[in-house]
Chains A and B, each alone.
Chain A
Amino acid sequence: MTRLYKYVLMLMLTLLAGFTQAAEPALLTLFVPGRTLDQATEAVKLAIGARNYTFVRQQAIDSRLVPQEWEAKSVRIVYFCNFDMMNEALRRNKLTTQIMPCRITLIEGEKGIDLVAVNPAWISEQWNAPDLQSGCRQLKQDYLAILEEAAI
């Protein structure tokens, strides 16, 4: 009977762990009041560098889909990466390309800027690859740190 209880307990803990992961938000967001899009972009780029990531490029959300003068002025994407991490992630599993390169979307509103990133810990829940989970959770923490730092 004791074995049965242990078995049930183990299953429940596993299930609980699964539910905990399922509770990951899809998006990581932070509102930065009183900034322009250009100011927020510069702050994000500085925060990226401070966290040992490399800025790759920035673009309007509809860049190259419309003539440059028609591009959306209120939604901008900043791409960045850490090449060591990228190399290690690809060496482990090519599914990780789904979270490459890193990206923050900046959306300008009337009172400030929304900084938004897709949560890599949420994306990785679908992979059935437990060995990638801790790396994705670490990447999520890096995103949160970059967002926080950009908001200062």
Chain B
Amino acid sequence: MKTPFLALALMIMTAQAAATPVSASKAGSMQTALDDLSLALIDHGYQLVKVQPIDHALVKRGYADPGIRIAFVGKQEQVQQALAAAPALLNLLPLRLTMEKDADGIRISSDDLAQWRERMPSAGPVLQEWEDELVAILNDYRGMH
């Protein structure tokens, strides 16, 4: 009789382990959000590397507007950090932020770095540092008027 309950408990634990990416949202247009995000990035030593306008790309090809853009952001030293901690982290750089238009404005969310921390514990401190910086950037973004 213990086996089913043990299995159920394990399943619940697995479901709870699923992490939520860092995110922030506020009212405004995509352009305003990009401007505010750029300022927040600079304040934390980051740069906006590239914006992938998925919304424009899809609309141009006749699809519905998904209201999505991807912002690639980073700092020069992150490449060296990745090489020192775990070269696999190069695949995360530049870091990605998803900008999503919703009914209330623009929501910006990061990739799920917790998943990487779990898989690569030795790179945990670097990933935590990056996540902390993204949290600070998104907090600033949220607070800008």
* Chain A interface (Cβ < 8 Å from any Cβ of B): 4, 7-8, 11-12, 14-15, 18, 22, 26-27, 56, 59, 61-66, 72, 75, 79, 83, 86-87, 90-91, 94, 97-98, 100-101, 103, 105, 107, 116-118, 122-123, 125-128
Contact = CB atoms under 8 A, between A and B. Distances in A.
A150 to B, nearest CB: 16
Contact of B70 (A72, A100, A122): A100
Given A26-B116, A128-B15, A61 B63 contact: no
A134 to B, nearest CB: 19
Nearest to B92: A118
| Chain B CB within 10 A, most for which of A22, A97, A123, A126 | A97
Do most interface residues of chain B lie in helix, strand or loop, or is the interface mixed? mixed
Interface residues of B, number: 46
| Chain B CB within 10 A, most for which of A56, A94, A118, A125 | A94
Interface string B82-105: 000001101111101010100000
Contacts of B63: 83, 87
B144 interface: no
A61 B115 contact: no
A66 B76 contact: yes
22 contacts: A12-B3, A15-B7, A26-B120, A27-B91, A64-B49, A72-B79, A75-B79, A86-B58, A91-B64, A94-B98, A97-B70, A97-B100, A98-B96, A100-B52, A107-B90, A122-B119, A125-B115, A126-B18, A126-B112, A126-B115, A127-B18, A128-B15
A87 B87 CA distance: 32
Nearest to A65: B76
Given A61-B93, A83-B58, A100-B70, A27 B49 contact: no
Which 8 A-B pairs rank lowest in CB-CB distance, beginning with the nearest?
A11-B7, A90-B66, A97-B98, A87-B63, A65-B76, A64-B49, A26-B119, A126-B115
B145 interface: no
A18 B18 CA distance: 13
Interface string B110-144: 01100110011000000000000000000000000
